[in-house]
Amino acid sequence: MLCRDFREIADSYISDELLVETNHDVIRHLETCADCRRELSARRELRSKLREGFQHAPDLQMSDEFAARLKAQVRDVALSRSRFSAGNRAAYIAIAASLVIAAALGFRVVYQRSHSQNPPYFTSGGNRDEEIDRERNGGRPSLVSAALTESVVGDHRDCALSHRLDEKPINLEEAGRKYDRAYINLVSAVMSEGALPAGVELVEGHSCIFKGQRFGHVILKYQGQLVSVLVTNIEAQDQGASTRAGELFASAQPDGYHLAHFETERHAVYVVSGLSDTENLSIARGIAPSVSRHIRDAERAA
Amino acid sequence: MFSLTRENTRLADWASFENEALPHHADLYRMAKWLVRDRDQAEDLVQETFVAALRSFHRFEKGTNCRAWLIKIMYHTLSKRRRGEGRLRIVSDNEEQIAETVAFEPPTPQSITEKEVLEALKRLPQQFQEVVILSDVEDMTYKEIAEALSIPTGTVMSRLHRGRSSLRAELAAYANSLGIGKTAETESPLRLAEK
């Protein structure tokens, strides 16, 4: 083999794309030719620089925010997509709707509840049997409806994850002046020092509308995932005020999200994310004292 | 129960996709950003690619190169998009163009930085850039590249040869202009061709 021939196929040799016989010819030539050994080494080095340069070029790096959004969006598609035939779609939609309602009403799990009226938030000791008994004995059920639960999950998905709401969000201060005082300084209440698990970061705060329901929306990032804290007025959901203040509820949604919520007299606060149940709940626990206090102050001032 | 079984199947499918395909998202993004140059468009392209990949994940053969499979889907998605926008790129590999691109087979210059290599690559025609990246950065085989770009394997080999030679020529010219990396070989490349 001549040096000229070697240089023609040197790159294919590096890529291991040559026939076995040709490979042997190359190896034999390299054993006797120092110039071609140097050239081979230089080409390997060039390839390595190209690879390193490409993989570490600052303008080619994906943002953490996009990585989290991508994962959530693909999971959303994965867990909600239909594999059913078009002919049966209507029937399956009805079944799916029933499952959503069943999930919201039937599978709700009460994790913890307070023993006293004020203030001990989410102390341990409550259990599901006690909760069911209490409801049978005349305790009011949560004011939160299945439709509201759907809106919460929908807002997290369409606002925080995919930015595809019909109506543009407005800032919390403006929403606080126009619609609900509880939205003013909501971000500070959520980010209250020392309340959240380590590593939680603030992404943004705004007020948005999903299917007619207005929310104060604070978006956090934890372990690479976006987490929505959604505050909404629930007076319109029922005739009276909530008696569930001081309790924390958690539920798994059929589309893979985990949701935790608590209520004040006239508001419901949700934490929704694709995190595990435990992680999602730890954020809800972290924000509950300061956010409840903040909302109660706003309710009193209204 | 029927619905729970189906739900479990979806969760299992998602877990499999999450383990196998999703870890390549950073590689896919780099490739997308290189191809479309714009961050928003690159993000859209990667997202579309993963959704399309998810929908045809049942066709992915376990044990084969998942990144190459995803890149193939990305190229098809991009091509479909460009057709939709009426701006499909026409690429021809006529000999005149190639002859103008590569004047001689230069020796590979050294003492060049990673950034300079990347800058030199950007100056090559697009069809050469992409095959060089797919082969030398993404480690795809000629066959995998041919499938991704929907071109014959022979064309892949020809573009790779021209692309790599052009890259070395660019770098040699750059090194010479700075007076770096000059060796006896770089000063007289034709001498080597005569050996």
pLDDT in tens, A248-264: 777 777 677 888 888 88
Give the ipTM. Answer: 0.78
- Residue range A35-66, pLDDT digits in tens: 888 888 888 988 999 999 998 999 999 988 88
Better pLDDT: B129 or B87: B129
Nearest to A242 by CA among A262, A216, A258: A262
Residues A83 and A44 in one domain: no
pLDDT bucket at A181, cuts 50 / 70 / 90: very high
Q: Alpha-carbon distance A88 to B2, whole Å?
A: 15
- From the list A3, A88, A93, A1, the residue with the least C-alpha distance to A39 is A3
Q: Name the residue type at position A214.
A: R
The separation between CA B169 and the C-alpha centre of its own chain, rounded to angstroms, equals 20
Q: In this predicted structure, which of B24-38, B83-97, B145-159 has the lowest mean pLDDT?
A: B83-97
Residue B6's pLDDT band, with cuts at 50, 70 and 90, is low
Q: What is the pLDDT confidence band of residue A95, given thresholds at 50, 70 and 90?
A: low
Domain span at residue A26 reads 3-59
* Mean of per-residue pLDDT scores for chain A: 76
Q: How far is CA B147 from CA A86, A111, A282, B72, in A?
A: 32, 53, 47, 7
Q: pTM of the entire structure? A: 0.51
Distance CA(A150)–CA(B81), nearest Å, equals: 33
Among chain A residues, CA nearest to B7: A79
CA distance A165 to A209: 8
Rounded CA gap, B122 and B166, in Å?
Answer: 11
> B95-194: which CATH number, 3.30.43.10, 1.10.1740.10, 1.10.10.10, 1.10.10.60?
1.10.10.10
Do A161 and A24 have their domain in common? no
The span from the CA of A167 to the CA of A156, in Å, is 14
Residue B195 forms contact with A (CB below 8 Å): yes
**Alpha-carbon torsion A131, A133, A136, A138, what sign?**
negative
**Do residues A147 and A253 share a domain?**
yes
Residue A110 has pLDDT above 70, yes or no: no
Q: Domain map of chain B by residue range?
A: 2-84, 95-194
Are A243 and A271 found together in one domain?
A: yes
> How many distinct structural domains can be found in chain A?
2
Residue with tokens 């307070």: A114
pLDDT value of residue A197: 86
Please report residues of B whose CB lies closer than 8 A to that of A67.
Answer: 25-26
- CATH code, residues B2-84: 1.10.1740.10
The position carrying tokens 């003013």 is A184
Look at A62 and B193 and tell me if their CB atoms are within 8 Å.
Answer: no
Q: Contacts of residue A6 in chain B, CB cutoff 8 Å?
A: none
Task: Please answer yes or no on whether B3 and A73 come within 8 Å at the CB atom.
Answer: no
- In sequence order, the 6+-apart residues with CB closer than 8 A to the CB of B18 are A71, A75
Scanning B44-73 for CB atoms below 8 A from A yields 46-47, 50-51, 54-55
List of chain B residues whose C-beta atoms are within 8 Å of the C-beta of residue A254: 7
User: In this structure, are A217 and A250 located in the same domain?
Assistant: yes
Long-range contacts of B116-123 (CB under 8 A, 24+ apart): B116/B171, B116/B174, B117/A46, B117/A49, B117/A50, B117/A53, B117/B167, B117/B171, B118/A50, B118/A53, B118/A54, B118/A57, B120/B167, B120/B170, B120/B171, B120/B174, B121/A50, B121/B167, B123/B170
B32 alpha-carbon distance from chain centroid? 9
Question: Could you give the CA distance from residue B43 to residue A67 in angstroms, rounded to a whole number?
Answer: 9
Is the pLDDT at B56 greater than 90, yes or no? no
Residues 94-133 of B with CB under 8 A from A: 105, 107-110, 112-115, 117-118, 121, 132-133
**What is the arithmetic mean of pLDDT over A12-22?**
86
Instruction: Read off the amino acid at residue A92.
Output: Y
Q: Which residue of A has its CA nearest to B193?
A: A4
> By C-alpha distance, which of A141, A145, A70 is closest to B27?
A70
Q: The tokens of A243 are what? A: 């008696």
Beta-carbon separation of B26 and A8 below 8 A: no
Cα dist from A196 to A158, A193, A200, A246, A292, whole Å: 25, 8, 7, 18, 14
Same domain (yes/no): A203, A123: yes
Among the partner-chain residues B50, B105, B136, the one whose CB lies closest to the CB of A7 is B105
Quick one: residue B150, left, alpha or beta (phi over 0 = left, psi -120 to 50 = alpha)? left
* Residues A124 and A31 grouped into a single domain: no
Report, as an integer, the average pLDDT of B76-93.
66
Q: Is B142 on the interface with A (CB under 8 A)?
A: yes
Q: How far is CA A269 from CA A55, A149, A232, B129, in A?
A: 42, 11, 7, 52
Within chain B, what is the greatest distance between any pair of CA atoms? 77
Cis peptide before A58 (omega within 30 of 0): no
Q: In whole angstroms, give the CA distance from residue A58 to residue A50.
A: 14
| Owner of token pair 């949701």 | A259
Does any CB of chain A come closer than 8 Å to the CB of residue B12?
no
Residues contacting residue A32 through CB under 8 Å, at least 6 positions apart: none
Across A93-107, A259-273, B119-133, least confident range: A93-107
Which candidate from A35, A43, A51 shows the least CB-CB separation from B137? A51
Q: Are A170 and A240 within one domain?
A: yes
Task: Give me the residue label for tokens 């999200």.
Answer: A257
> Does B14 sit within 8 Å of A46, measured CB to CB?
no
Same structural domain, A54 and A77: no
